[in-house]
Amino acid sequence: MTNSAVVLADTAAYAAAVEEATRAAAAYYATGESTLDDDAYDRLVRRIAAYEQEHPHEMLDASPTGRVAGGAASGDVPHTVPMLSLDNVFSADQFVTWTASLERRIGRPVAAWSVEPKLDGLAVAARYRAGRLEQLITRGDGTAGEDVSHAIGTVVGLPEQLAEPVTIELRGEILMTTEQFEQANAVRTEHGGAPFANPRNGAAGTLRAKDRAYTVEMTFFAYGALPLPDSGELTDTLAELPHSEVLAYVARLGVHTAADTDVAPRTVTTVEEVQSRVEEVAALRASLPFGIDGIVIKADLAADQREAGSGSRAPRWAIAYKLPAVEKVTRLLGVEWNVGRTGIIAPRAVLEPVEIDGSTVGYATLHNPADITRRDLRLGDRVMVYKAGDIIPRIEAPVAHLRTGDEKSIDFPAACPQCGSEIDTSEQRWRCVRGRDCRLVASISYAAGRDQLDIEGLGATRVVQLVDAGLVADFADLFTLDREQLLGLERMGETSTDNLLAAIDTARTQPLSRVFCALGVRGTGRSMSRRIARYFADMDRIRAADAEELQRVDGIGKEKAAGVVAELVELAPLIEKLVAAGVNMTEPGATPPPEPGEESVAAAAADGEGGALPLDGMTVVVTGAMTGVLEKLSRNEMNELIERAGGKSSSSVSKRTSLLVAGEKAGSKRTKAEDLGVRIAAPDEFAELVAGFLPAEA
C-alpha cells in the first residue's frame, strides 16, 4: 500500500505515481477491477496533489487532480451538461476550511446545506422524453460517456415510464445492493464465471455487458436532475428549485432516491448540523443494505450554486466527505477450520494484516466450504476484504486479475479438526458427526449463559470440571446434580455449592423461550426463540409442528423450518431429560395457536378488548441508557419484555417503527424518530405502559 506520508521524491516518482493512478482509475471506472482499493487510491492522489502544489510547472495532463473521475473511461455520447466529479475532504477541519472558502467566494453564509450519502456505484445519466426512458449513458470523461441503454429494464428504481410525461435528464448512481451482489455472484458462478470482487465491480461489469446468458438486477439512486433542450417550462422550474426540492420532485416522478433509506438526504442550516449528520450517517454505514464511501454535502439553494460556479473537474458548491475505508485488498495466507458448539465446522481466513476502518484485520469469515468453492478462493490470492463497524470482516472475492499463477488450492479437512470423527458433508455447512458432543463444554456453557438459562456461577472452568468428572453429558444433567457431587469438586465449598444449586433451581423456571434458546437449534437465536415460544406457547406444540406450521412464525422460511424440525428430532432425548428434571416448558402469557377449524373463533376473540396486549402490533426500538426499573435489564431482556407485551423489537428506526424508547444519550435514533414523527417514550413512561409484563425482580 502507498503511504500518504511519503513525499514523491522527484519528477520520475511523480510521473510513475500519475501513471499508476491512471491505470487504477481506468480499471476502476471501466470494470471495477482496480489494482488499488479506494483508500490506497485516495492516498496516492493526495501525494500527487502535494507534489503538484510544490511543482505546479511539472503538472502532467494525465494527472487525476485535473480530471473528472472516470476520465479514463471511453464514451462517444456527448453530455448535455458536463458530468463533473467531486473534490474530497477527509476530516471535520478540512470540511470547515472548505465551507469558509465557499462562503468567501459567494460573499455570504450558505443559506442551507443538503447532506446525503455518497453511494458507491457508477454515475449515469438517464434521458427521458415525454416521460419515457430513451437513453442511459455513463459518466465517461465528463463530457461524453458510453451508451448503456441495453441495461434499461434491469435497473430497480429507474422506471421506463415516469409518473408525468416530462422531458428530463436524471443523474444518479447505479449500484448493487448487498443482496443483489450475492445473487449476482451466485448466478455468475453457476454460468462458469469468476465471482465479482465487490458490488461496484459487479455493477460496472453488469452495466456494460450485452450478450450474457443471464441477467442480474442493479439499483438506481437519483441525486439530481436537469432539463434537456426541449424540456419547455420545466427548464426554468428546475433552474430555480433548491436541490432538496429537485430530489423531492424526482421522487414524485416515481424514480428511486435515498429518501426512503436510513441515510435519507437531510437539509440543515449550520456547519455544526452538517457535522452531526455526517456522524449519524457514518454510524449507520455498517447496517446499510448498500455501500457508501462518504457523505456528499451541497449548497441547497440554486442561487448559492450559481454564484459558486464550477471548476474544470468539480463544482465549487459541493464536496465529498470521505469516510475511512471499509474495504481493502490484502493476501489470503491460510484457512483455519474451527468447530462450533453444535459441531459445525467453520472455515476462517488467515489474512496478511491490513488496517481497515481504524483497526487491524488479520482474520475474516468464509461461511462454509461451498462458499470457498463458489468464490474460487486460493491460498496466496489477493482478496477484497470488507469490514464495517463491529461486523466481522468478510472476504468478498479474490481479485482474480492480480493472480500470478503461484496460488494454491485450499485443502478441506477429511476428519473433524476437533475430535477426529467423521464429517457430515450432506449440507453446505459441514458438521462433525458427534454434533454437540464434539464441543460439549461450549454447548453447556452456551446453555447456561445469561441470555439463555442464566445460571450464575457456572462459567467455562466449572463446566470443564463437571465434564471431566463425568457428572454431565449434556446441560439437562445440570438439573440432576446433588450437593455431595458438587462438594467433591476442587475449589467447591459449601457456600459456592449452595449458590450454584440455587441458581440451577431458578433456571428450572425460566420461560420456554430461554429453554428453547439454550437448546442451540441451528438457525435460531434469542429473537427467533422468543417468536417460536410465543407462537406455540409450549414445547409439545413446537415438537409436534411440521415444517409448514413452523413457517407461520415470522422470519422462518421453508429451508429454516425443515432444519428446525430435523434438529428437534435429534434433540428429542435431551428435551425428554429436561422435562423429567422438571424444567419449565411453557411461555408465560403466550396463547397457543388455534387448532384447525378454530381460526374464526380465535379471530373473533382477538377483536375483543379484554385480551389486547399493550404493545399489540407495534414495532419498538430501544436506544440510550435506561433508567428506573428498566435500568437493570439487559438489551436482550428488554427485547423479551417487548415481545411478552405483544410487540416486535427492532434495532433501527424506520417508517415502520411504532415507538422509540429513548433513554439518556439516545443520539441519532431519537433524531430520526423525531424527523419521521415516530412516538417517543421515556423509560419511566414505557415501564408504566408494560408494567404488567415486567419481571418480578424489576
- Please count the other Cβ atoms lying within 10 Å of the Cβ belonging to residue 315: 18
DSSP state of 94: H
Cell 422506471 found at: 159
Candidates 616, 665, 668, 666; CA nearest to 644 is 616
> What are the CA-CA distances from residue 137 to residues 346, 454, 474, 609 (Å)?
44, 59, 63, 58
Could you confirm whether 118 is annotated as catalytic?
yes
User: Facing residues of 226 across strands?
Assistant: 169
- Please count the other Cβ atoms lying within 10 Å of the Cβ belonging to residue 404: 8
Cell 503538472 found at: 59
Q: Which residues contact 528 (CB under 8 A, 6 or more apart)?
A: 553, 555, 556
**What one-character-per-residue DSSP string does 536-600 give?**
H-BHHHHHH--HHHHTTSTT--HHHHHHHHHHHHHTHHHHHHHHHTT---B-TT--PPPPTT-HH
The C-alpha atoms of residue 443 and residue 473 are separated, in whole angstroms, by: 10
The C-alpha atoms of residue 448 and residue 460 are separated, in whole angstroms, by: 10
Cell of 400: 482474480
Map residue 139 onto helix, strand or coil.
coil
Map residue 335 onto helix, strand or coil.
strand
Cell of 168: 428530463
- Cα 474 to chain centroid, rounded: 35
The C-alpha atoms of residue 126 and residue 136 are separated, in whole angstroms, by: 5
- Cα 456 to chain centroid, rounded: 34
- Please count the other Cβ atoms lying within 10 Å of the Cβ belonging to residue 234: 18
DSSP state of 493: -
- Please count the other Cβ atoms lying within 10 Å of the Cβ belonging to residue 456: 14
Q: Cα dihedral sign for 398, 393, 388, 251?
A: positive
Q: Cα dihedral sign for 576, 580, 581, 582?
A: positive
Cell 449507520 found at: 284
The C-alpha atoms of residue 563 and residue 85 are separated, in whole angstroms, by: 50
**What one-character-per-residue DSSP string does 450-495 give?**
TTTT--TT--HHHHHHHHHTTS-SSGGGGGG--HHHHHTSTT--HH
Candidates 476, 479, 482; CA nearest to 440 is 476
The C-alpha atoms of residue 630 and residue 452 are separated, in whole angstroms, by: 19
Catalytic residue among 118, 298, 328, 560: 118
Mind telling me the catalytic residues?
118
